[in-house]
């Protein structure tokens, strides 16, 4: 009997020990209650930040809660870097990080713990990067570069700092000398810098491999190199705008006749509309040695990487035919010359009737500006332009006609500009006689379509004005007012006294920025990473602007930093 009781007690003891072990081994949230949304923080370090003459072979961190161990491994960035990989020894909420090699003499080390660190239970991310700095000598290098990354995703971007030793130094093919990461608000600090010249990039490093990959990583190019000296150890407002860096020129993938006159050409990426010209393409029949140019070229209702070509001549389906392209240019300016592809021939007639698939503004729009509105008509096929002027009319409710100017964006898109302003809060009609538009086969639609538009009152507009401080007119400043939710952007240039004024603005929540248009393009230049072409300087107004209808915001003092 005693033996049996002993077995029962022993079994219960084993179960209790196992339960206790399981409870310790699994970091589980307590049942019930509110979900933890508090980000983890580092509450203690060894050594203390700023320690000198440090000679140990490890550092130690203590967090405010249990941490996902892998997230720390992926979020630690060390400057200067080690050749090997550090080892991690965890104990509860604390971790020792052992160095893979002996620390170098007279060096300031910077350990950045990025915002990818998350807690164990709810995956809350650290709010901002944590920086631990110590030195193996009796002084800390105190050079510092700080600023902000402006991007749709400002947090978690990498800051690559390179010490420039030569104008011929190719930097981006190697890992940076100094590394940091932006917090959730986009702010960053690059610290522990010794005297010297630095080139700093902001990189959306997708693989976190500390190497810029042009095909996948966005990059922010600096507007200048930075000099850290004994007299000047701090550089502030060193800000970045991220952009894609595309160095690959476009190529043609395929070209196919959809009927005996129409070709759909597909490219590796969207191409610049300035090269969508009939003279840039040639169709060559290698069987009969016939060479012809398309009659029409246009974007039309095709996919983003496609365009349409129309040829008057018909080709034999037994022929070997090629499409030759003189120049291809993508929207980043990359060029490819003399590309070609085989053409798949069709002898099928085109029986589709011409139609309009889109208009700007949308038909029945009640938000037409009575002063500055242009109208666009997008056809699904090219047409003979000779009758277009007679086929389009713009009238008010009394039948009074407005004179319009026609401009062809391409062979299937018309821009209509009114020669005089409309009246506020009035209704107007755009009439298009489609029977006057014939495609290459002579197809037409015997109907007149009417789009009705209503103008706004003009009282619902707002505006913003003020003074730009810190730059002068010789630097060619351009101000940008942007409402991201409505995709609205307005541009203005200050006068010689640096006063600016935005008028006829739709209400909304806006950001105000300014850049120095050094190349005179009228648009912000993001620069090129290598060989370096510095970006243009820019600055953001410190606060968002809430612009209300019928109430202009005045006396804004915008200090360019």
Report CA-CA distances (Å) from 101 to 8, 82, 112, 250, 430: 54, 7, 18, 46, 76
* HEC profile of 358-405: EEECCCCCCCECCCCCEEEEEECCCCCHHHHHHHEEEEECCCCEECEE
Reduced to 3 states (helix: H, G, I; strand: E, B; else coil), residue 17 is helix
- pTM score of the predicted model: 0.76
Tell me the β-bridge partners of 135: 108
Where exactly are the structural domains of the chain?
Answer: 36-130, 141-245, 252-344, 356-454, 462-559
**450, 427 Cβ separation under 8 angstroms:** no
Q: Quick one: tokens of 443?
A: 């197809």
Number of DSSP helices (H) and strands (E) in the chain, helices first:
3, 41
Nearest Cα to 142, choosing from 54, 231, 53? 231
Looking at residue 21, what is its pLDDT? 42
Q: Which pairing describes strands 252-257 and 335-344: parallel, antiparallel, or unpaired?
A: parallel
Please provide the size of the chain in residues.
Answer: 561
Q: Quick one: tokens of 317?
A: 């389906």
Cα–Cα–Cα angle for 350, 328, 520, rounded to 5 degrees = 125
Assigned CATH class of 462-559: mainly beta
Nearest Cα to 331, choosing from 278, 269, 281, 412? 269
Looking at residue 167, what is its pLDDT? 65
Quick one: 17 exposed, middle or buried, by C-beta within 10 A (0-12, 13-18, 19+)?
exposed
Assigned CATH class of 252-344: mainly beta
Long-range contacts of 355-364 (CB under 8 A, 24+ apart): 355/379, 355/380, 355/434, 355/445, 356/380, 356/432, 356/434, 356/449, 357/301, 358/301, 359/430, 359/451, 361/453, 363/451, 363/452, 363/453, 364/451, 364/452, 364/453
**304, 257 Cβ separation under 8 angstroms:** no
Q: Quick one: tokens of 242?
A: 């991220």
| Superfamily of domain covering 141-245 | Immunoglobulins (2.60.40.10)
Looking at residue 32, what is its pLDDT? 52
Helix (H) or strand (E) holding 511: strand 508-516
Looking at residue 168, what is its pLDDT? 64
Q: Tell which CATH classification among 2.60.40.1220, 2.115.10.20, 3.30.930.10, 3.40.50.300 matches the domain 36-130.
A: 2.60.40.1220
Q: Quick one: tokens of 175?
A: 């890992």
* Residue-by-residue pLDDT tens, the chain, 561 positions: 444 444 444 444 444 444 444 444 444 444 556 788 899 999 999 999 999 999 999 999 999 999 999 999 888 989 888 888 899 999 999 999 999 999 999 999 999 898 889 999 899 999 888 999 999 999 999 999 999 999 989 988 999 999 998 766 689 988 899 999 998 889 999 999 999 999 999 999 988 889 999 888 999 999 999 999 999 999 999 999 999 888 889 999 999 999 999 999 999 999 998 888 999 999 999 888 889 999 999 999 999 999 999 999 888 888 899 999 999 999 888 899 999 999 999 999 998 989 999 999 998 999 899 988 899 999 999 999 998 999 999 999 999 999 999 999 999 999 999 999 999 999 999 999 999 999 999 998 999 999 999 998 888 799 999 999 999 889 999 999 999 887 899 999 999 999 999 999 999 999 999 999 999 988 899 999 988 999 999 999 999 999 998 899 999 999 999
- Alpha carbons 157 and 47: distance in angstroms, whole number: 27
- Alpha carbons 279 and 286: distance in angstroms, whole number: 19
Report CA-CA distances (Å) from 338 to 245, 287, 320, 333, 341: 24, 20, 19, 16, 10
- Alpha carbons 8 and 25: distance in angstroms, whole number: 26
The DSSP result for 279-340, as a single string, is GGEEEEETTTTEEE--SEEE--S--TTEEEEE-SS---TTS-EEEEEEEEEBTT--EEEEEE
Query: In angstroms, what is the C-alpha Rg of the chain?
Result: 32
Tell me the β-bridge partners of 466: 500, 556
Neighbours of 406 (CB within 10 A): 13
**Identical fold between 36-130 and 356-454:** yes
Assigned CATH class of 356-454: mainly beta
Looking at residue 235, what is its pLDDT? 96
**467, 500 Cβ separation under 8 angstroms:** yes
CA 409: distance to chain centroid?
26
Neighbours of 321 (CB within 10 A): 21
Neighbours of 94 (CB within 10 A): 15
- Alpha carbons 153 and 220: distance in angstroms, whole number: 13
Nearest Cα to 313, choosing from 292, 331, 297? 292
Neighbours of 199 (CB within 10 A): 23
Tell me the β-bridge partners of 340: 324
């Amino acid at each position: 009997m005693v033996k049996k009781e002993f077995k029962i007690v022993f079994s219960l003891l084993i179960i209790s020990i196992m339960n206790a072990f399981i409870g310790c081994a699994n970091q589980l949230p307590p049942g019930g209650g509110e979900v933890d949304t508090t980000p983890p923080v580092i509450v203690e370090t060894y050594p203390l930040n700023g320690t000198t003459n440090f000679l140990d072979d490890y550092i130690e961190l203590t967090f405010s809660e249990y941490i996902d161990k892998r997230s720390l491994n992926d979020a630690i960035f060390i400057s200067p870097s080690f050749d090997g990989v550090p080892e991690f020894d965890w104990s509860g909420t604390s971790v020792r990080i052992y160095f893979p090699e002996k620390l170098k003499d007279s060096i300031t080390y910077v350990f950045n713990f990025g915002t990818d660190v998350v807690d164990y239970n709810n995956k809350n991310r650290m709010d901002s990067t944590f920086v631990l700095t110590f030195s193996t000598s009796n002084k800390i290098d105190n050079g510092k570069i700080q600023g902000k990354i402006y991007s749709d995703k400002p947090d978690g971007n990498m800051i690559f700092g390179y010490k420039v030793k030569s104008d011929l130094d190719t930097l981006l093919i190697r890992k940076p000398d100094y590394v940091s990461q932006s917090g959730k608000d986009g702010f960053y600090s690059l610290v522990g810098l010794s005297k010297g010249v630095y080139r700093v990039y902001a990189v959306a490093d997708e693989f976190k491999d500390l190497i810029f990959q042009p095909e996948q990583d966005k990059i922010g190019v600096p507007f200048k190199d930075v000099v850290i000296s004994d007299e000047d150890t701090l550089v502030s407002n060193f800000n970045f705008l991220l952009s894609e860096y595309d160095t690959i020129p476009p190529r043609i993938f395929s070209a196919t006749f959809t009927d005996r006159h129409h070709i759909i050409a597909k490219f590796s990426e969207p191409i610049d509309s300035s090269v969508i010209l009939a003279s840039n393409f040639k169709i060559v029949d290698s069987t009969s040695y016939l060479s012809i140019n398309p009659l029409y070229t246009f974007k039309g209702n095709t996919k983003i990487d496609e365009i349409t070509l129309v040829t008057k001549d018909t080709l034999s389906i037994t022929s070997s035919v090629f499409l030759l392209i003189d120049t291809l240019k993508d929207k980043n300016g990359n060029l490819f010359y003399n590309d070609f592809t085989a053409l798949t021939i069709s002898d099928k007639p085109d029986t589709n009737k011409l139609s309009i698939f889109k208009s700007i503004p949308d038909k029945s729009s009640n938000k037409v500006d009575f002063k500055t509105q242009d109208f666009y008509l997008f056809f699904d096929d090219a047409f003979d332009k000779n009758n277009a002027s007679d086929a389009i009319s713009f009238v008010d409710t009394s039948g009074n006609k407005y004179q319009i100017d026609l401009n062809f964006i391409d062979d299937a898109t018309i821009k209509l500009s009114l020669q005089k302003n409309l009246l506020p809060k009035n209704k107007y009609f755009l009439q298009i006689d489609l029977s006057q538009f014939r495609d290459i086969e002579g197809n037409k639609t015997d109907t007149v379509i009417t789009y009705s538009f209503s103008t706004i009152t003009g009282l619902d507009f707002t505006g913003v004005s003020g003074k730009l401080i810190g730059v002068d007119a010789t630097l060619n400043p351009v101000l940008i007012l942007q409402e991201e939710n409505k995709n609205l952007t307005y541009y203005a240039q200050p006068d010689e006294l640096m006063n600016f004024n935005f008028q006829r603005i739709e209400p909304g929540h806006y950001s105000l920025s300014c850049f120095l248009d050094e190349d005179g393009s009228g648009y912000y230049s993001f620069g090129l990473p290598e060989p370096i072409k510095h970006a243009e300087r820019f600055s953001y107004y410190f606060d968002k602007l809430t612009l209300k209808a019928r109430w202009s915001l005045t006396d804004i003092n915008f200090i360019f930093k």
